[in-house]
Structure 1
Amino acid sequence: MANPYQVTPPPAPRRRSGGNVVTVVVLAVVIIGGYFLMQSLRKDDGKPTASPSASASPSTKPTAKDPGSPESSSDTSSSWKVGDCGGPDTSKAPDGYKRAGCSDSGATFKAIDIKEASILPNAVQCPPGTDLMIDVSISYGGKGSGIPTNTVCGRNLSGDHPGDAGAGGGQLVKGDCVTSQAKEVACGGSGAQKVLGLVKTKSECPSGTTDPIELTMAIGRPYDVICTDG
């Protein structure tokens, strides 16, 4: 016999399919709105988020503490290639440089090698004959020195080549000359000692070395001893 006090629960309400349609419409509106918002932000002033820039440092001569490196500057583009030419950038005077056609009147040097940049001083070693080194970096928002990307090893288009061995400039290389204080000078001058090798220890100096110059240790520099003929 059925329980007269038992109450039969009402049937569960049926889920209406219209709710799914509303959800899909809302999501579509959010996605489309987000897309147009991103497009608007990208068009802000027509400027890219990241822009290449450069920092410059004057050329230095070697000393027992710092062997030095060629003049350093930069360009407005990070896409340098071997064979590209460049010249002074008047908008970033006195240390700025920019790319230019090799036949342009403003071209003063040609890229003979492209190296990866380094935050360590003296860590980038360009090939012999490099007259200047151009540090290319990317800065965000167009401010600050930026993140180093490449180093352009440049050689002058003129007949003036301070980076040639013995000429007294550029990075120190075998065949250059230094004083007893490890300062680079042009060969042939008074007190000039010929560089026979650049090594880590005195025992690695080649035969003929009579006066090895031990340098203060520097992170990034590939040598600590200048082997000279005294």
Structure 2
Amino acid sequence: MPIRRTVALLAPLALVAVVSLATGCRSPSDASSRPTTSASPVRQVDGVTLNAGECSTRSRTGFTEIGCTSERAYARVLARHHGERGGGPRCPEVTDFVLDLTKRAAGSVVADPDGYACLRTLVPPHPGDPGGGGGPYTILGDCVYRAEKGRVRETPCDGSGERRPQFRIVKAAGKRAECPKSTALYVTLPGSAPVGCARRV
């Protein structure tokens, strides 16, 4: 039976991380390592899988698999995983954006999850790079500004975003005691060094 595959862009623009002031008494919470908003799924052509190493275009109607040498190629798949993102492997830290993939049997109105793809654009700027202001994770070298209570949002370190950076993560540590004395904010990071030590900029 023919399968239709659909992709939805999980926009990294609203990435939020939980923080704790260096001078406060609050205990840190788990940071969200996923974007908080997503676009509606966009129907793809039959048989699109976006495996690791393959490339896609980008248009108003969505993402379509294409050869990486094409002038229309927009991003390359760094990793492709099956299953739910919540319990699945993390994307590489240099990932610029993540696509949730679904498959739809011919004539069906219900789409079944088919995993996710971690992509990096073929040309700069790369929001997933340290200081780039986006990507699926908050990482060492990123800049943030204070948002709602107890949270921060990423913004480009070069000041090119809508909000100027207030803090920069200068060290990823295993615990707060390992942060430098200049730390003004603790940001929860993914991975084995979950404490981001941020200083004012």
Structure 2 length as normaliser, TM-score?
0.65
* Residues 42-81 of structure 1: pairs in structure 2 closer than 5 A: 48=1, 50-64=3-17, 68-69=34-35, 75-76=44-45, 77=47, 79-81=49-51
Match of 1:160 among 117, 122, 125: 125
The aligned counterpart of 1:100 is: 66
Q: Is the contact between residue 174 and residue 198 of structure 1 (CA under 8 Å) also seen in structure 2?
A: no
Instruction: Determine if the alignment matches structure 1 residue 140 to structure 2 residue 93.
Output: no
- Distance in 1 (CA, whole Å) between partners of 2:114 and 2:176 is 33
What is the match of residue 192 of structure 1?
Answer: 166
Q: Structure 1, unaligned stretches of length 5 or more?
A: 1-47, 216-220
Return the offset for 1:150. Answer: 2.3
Kept in 1, the 8 Å contact 2:78–2:120? The answer is yes
Query: In structure 2, what is the equivalent of residue 175 of structure 1?
Result: 141
Equivalent residue pairs, number = 170
The gaps in structure 2 that reach 5 residues or longer are 19-31
Relative CO higher for 1 or 2, CA cutoff 8 Å, sep ≥ 6? Answer: 2
Does 1:84 pair with 2:49?
no
Any conservation in 2 of the 1:52–1:78 contact (CA below 8 Å)?
yes
* Contact in 2 for aligned 1:185/1:192 (Cα 8 Å): no
CA contact (8 A) 1:53 1:145 kept: no
Task: State the partner residue of 1:110.
Answer: 76
Structure (1 or 2) with the larger CA radius of gyration: 1
Counterpart in the other structure of 2:96: 131
* 1:35-76 deviation per Cα after TM superposition (whole angstroms, max 9, x unaligned): xxxxxxxxxxxxx25432233444432235656539777754
Identity rate, percent = 21
- The RMSD of aligned alpha carbons is 3.5
Higher strand share: 2
Is the contact between residue 197 and residue 205 of structure 1 (CA under 8 Å) also seen in structure 2?
no
The structure that is helix-richer by fraction is: 1
